[in-house]
Every structure is written in structure tokens, then in C-alpha cells.
Amino acid sequence: MNFNLLRTQKVDVLRYLPKFLANDTTFKVSQDSLSEEHEKLRLLIIDLCRQMFVESATWGLDDWERVYGIAHNSNATDEERRNMLLTKMQGTATISIEKLNELVNLVSPSKDVVVLENTEPNQFKVLVNTPVSVKDIREVVELYKPAHLAYLVAHQFTCQSAVNILGAVKVTRRISIKQAENDGIIRTKLPNISTIGAISTLHTLHINQEDL
């Protein structure tokens, strides 16, 4: 925004007076003092005008946050505070997937958040590539999403190398021992359970009478 008002350069009142007057030292000193005071007022007016707009406000952000009911965060930068205010000022009109994408990226420093709709019935997903400002993202989503919709914030990552995913699955062994031809099968479970690999396996061991 252009806040230069009437002039774009430093004030010098001697510019508007006959040049020969500057030859008088006393007169020049007095006019230079007036120029300095005029310059202070010019910069002050410009600074005040900047506070009237969220996009350029600095010390005036405190008043904007008070008006819109946003708690002051001393750790946030001026740019982050402006983004939160701009998000709050969007209003409560019908929200679209494109608009929600725009709003959540206002509070994400990495600007790489993606909103996916209809991932499940009455549910959408918010994919965060860089897991920062998740709390702020949740606040934006809660503020603008329709009340009947659920959502999931998920961390996605992209890479150009192999990704190894490891896990552990419980393995059980079942032993069937046939004592005699006329006896029923006695089944026992071993109490020890071990974890190996990532594939579920089941070992069944049959021991007949002749094996004993």
C-alpha cells in the first residue's frame, strides 16, 4: 500500500522559499529545525495510516486482536499474527474445499497443507507435509468446517529414496498330542509369545504316539 500521502521524499521547507534565504545561517538553521519537525509528523501520519489495515499493521495488531477476540501470542511474528486475523475476518459464509485450502495455508509457514474431501462418509482429511502450526491449523478447521463433518489431520511426507517400514506381529504355536488311539486329542497353547518379522504365522505341531 502507498502511504506517501502528499510527498515521497524527506521534508525540506527551504525548497519552497527563494534560494538566497538559505545564505543566512540563522534563517537556514531555523528552517532546518522546522523541516525536521515536519518530517517527524509526516512519518507519524504514515505509521498511523498503516495501523488501519491488517496487512500493514505492526503495533496496531494488539487492537485488531482485541476486536476479533484473538488471544495475543507473544511468540508469533507479525506476519503470523496478520494471517490469523485475516483468517478470522473471512467470516462464516459457506466454505468450499478451495477456500478451506486457502485458509489453512494462511497459518502454515510451509504453505503445503492439502485438504482432501470425501475420504470417508462425512469426513475430510487435512494433509500436513511439514508438521508445524498443527494447533493453528486445527483452530482454523474448527472455525470454518460444517458442524456435521469430521476430519483427520494427517502427516504426509514425500521422498525420492526407499522407505523401509517395519513392524512386529505376534506368533503362536499350537501343539496337538495324541496319547493313544482311543484317547481324544489334547491341545495345549504355549504360554510364551514371541515377536518376529512383519508376517503373521501359525505353527501347528502334531505328535503321535509312535513319536513318543
DSSP labels for 62-125? HHHHHHTTPPP-TTS-HHHHHHHHHHHTT-SSPP-HHHHHHHHHHS-TT---EEEEEEETTEEE
Residue 177 pLDDT: 62
Return the amino acid letter for 172. T
C-alpha cell at 66: 482485541
pLDDT mean across residues, the chain: 77
| Cα distance between residue 2 and residue 197, in whole Å | 65
pLDDT digits (tens, 9 = 90+) for 156-190: 766 677 767 777 766 667 766 665 665 554 444 44
Q: Which amino acid is at 72?
A: H
Amino acid at 202: L
Tell the burial category of 210 from Cβ atoms under 10 Å away from its Cβ (0-12, 13-18, 19+).
exposed
pLDDT tens readout for residues 62-85: 999 998 888 888 888 898 889 888
Look at residue 148 in the predicted model and tell me its pLDDT: 84
pLDDT for 131-141, tens place per residue?
777 888 888 88
Strands 185-189 and 169-178: antiparallel
Among residues 80, 115, 113, the alpha carbon closest in space to that of 95 is found at 115
Q: List the beta bridge partners of residue 124.
A: 151
CA 19 to chain centroid, in Å, comes to 59
pLDDT at position 182: 59
Give the Cβ contact number of residue 70 at 10 Å.
16
Assess whether pLDDT exceeds 50 at residue 93: yes
pLDDT of residue 57: 93
